[in-house]
Amino acid sequence: MKKSILAAAAIAIVGSAQASYQAPKHYDFVTGLARVPGNVTGYAGLKDRDDIIGASLVLPTIRSSELLQFQFETLLAPPEEVSVGPLTVKMPGNLHIPKQKERYGILPITIEKPSFGFYGPAGRDEELMALAFNAKLSDLIKLAQDKAPFSKMIPLVSMTQYTITPNRAWAGDRAITLGLNQSFRKQTGYRWTRNAAPANTADVALHFQQTPAKRWMLTDIVGTPAAQGQLATAPSLGGAPTRAYFARITNGEGQKIKSIEGHFVPSNGQAYAVQGVPEPIRNASVTGSTVRWTPIAGNGWMAVLRTGKDAKVLPQRVSPFLSAKVLRSLGGDERPGRVLQRTQKLEAWTSAATGRFDLSTALSADEDIVLLFVGTDRPVDAPSIEDEEPELFTFATEIRFVMLP
């Protein structure tokens, strides 16, 4: 009984169990990727036996081109083994959990992940952000035991503190220590008028703020947001531009995310005001090397992405956000004993009005297709792979996503 509860507690924190994994060595001279261990300090208000768990995710700030292809799973680095009481469980490598003693019923449990892992190629400059959050442990455990989808866990998370580093190469470091030195502040108003979310869907609001390196920091994530309220920002970033993504998630088979449709809007110094939810990408299918969907009128571009299934082997994946160019350079390496992780490669940006795209080659048995439509308020050029600040991002108003089996 105690063992099953401990397992549920550990799984609840990360949303799902992970395959067995051993942390890689510091540097791989074949792939040029490194894992740098790190610690997070400065947690405020942590208490034992209060049914609240505090933790942090550590990841790079997000380039504009990467934000256009944002997916929730990219927040989590490859899993690492962690001891939770008598158990050895798997948690995302970029998660840090300070030691906390809690109770589940009458049973005492101790949860701790004292080190996070930053994964990065040598020479790549990054701003690192540590995003601290709190969540109610008993509620997380119940959802994990019920095998609830990840979207149901979002409302339980409350972002609390953060830190952001200068922009530099981190892969050469032997260790990283990040001190939480700022608190998020709810100060940007919003109004989102829409119908109630149907069964098997969930609404979410994400808030991003521009950083000194002209990238983007996640400053808030709110599950089942009220029709009006406030989103958090990072005070240390001052009046830097912000963007919000008001989206509806639909879960498919196995409670995995099937599609997302949302408004992607700048604040322009005012409260956000959005109406409804964008239409989904309809009648999407792939047959052989041909991808089809119901044509979408209006401005914007459709990204056709090839993804490897979870059994795809990717060597020491870099910390979570990668350009398509880097992903392509890594996708062919399938040596045993590496990290099990989904890979993603951009096939092309194409017109959404055609309703059809012919792949360069037919899908293999271990590949899926993702369609991602970015709508804009004016005609813009399709982004190039090397463009970190595409026009498509600047004038984006909506993002729609669907996964094809």
Residue-wise pLDDT tens digits, 356-390: 999 999 888 888 999 999 999 999 999 876 677 88
Report which of residues 22 and 161 the model is more confident about: 161
**pLDDT per residue over 256-266, tens digit each?**
889 999 999 99
User: Is the confidence at residue 85, as pLDDT, over 50?
Assistant: yes
Greatest mean pLDDT among 113-127, 286-300, 379-393: 286-300
- The pTM for the full model equals 0.84
| pLDDT higher than 50, residue 1 | no
DSSP 238-307: TT--EEEEEEEEEE-GGG-EEEEEEEEEE-TTS-EEEES-PPP--S-EEETTEEE-----SSEEEEEEEE
* 119 or 205, which is more confident: 205
Which pLDDT score is estimated for 400?
96
* Whether the predicted pLDDT of 15 surpasses 80: no
CA distance to 101, 140, 167, per residue, from 145 (Å): 20, 9, 41
Q: Looking at residue 260, what is its pLDDT? A: 95
Q: Encode pLDDT of 39-63 as tens digits.
A: 999 999 999 999 999 999 999 999 8
Domains of the chain (ranges plus CATH)?
1-182 (no CATH), 184-278 (2.60.40), 281-405 (no CATH)
Q: How far apart are CA 400 and CA 405, in angstroms?
A: 17
d(CA 390, CA 68): 10
Q: Of 391, 388, 394, which Cα lies nearest the Cα of 326?
A: 388
**Is the model's pLDDT at 107 over the cut of 50?**
yes
Which residues pair with residue 81 across a beta bridge? 90
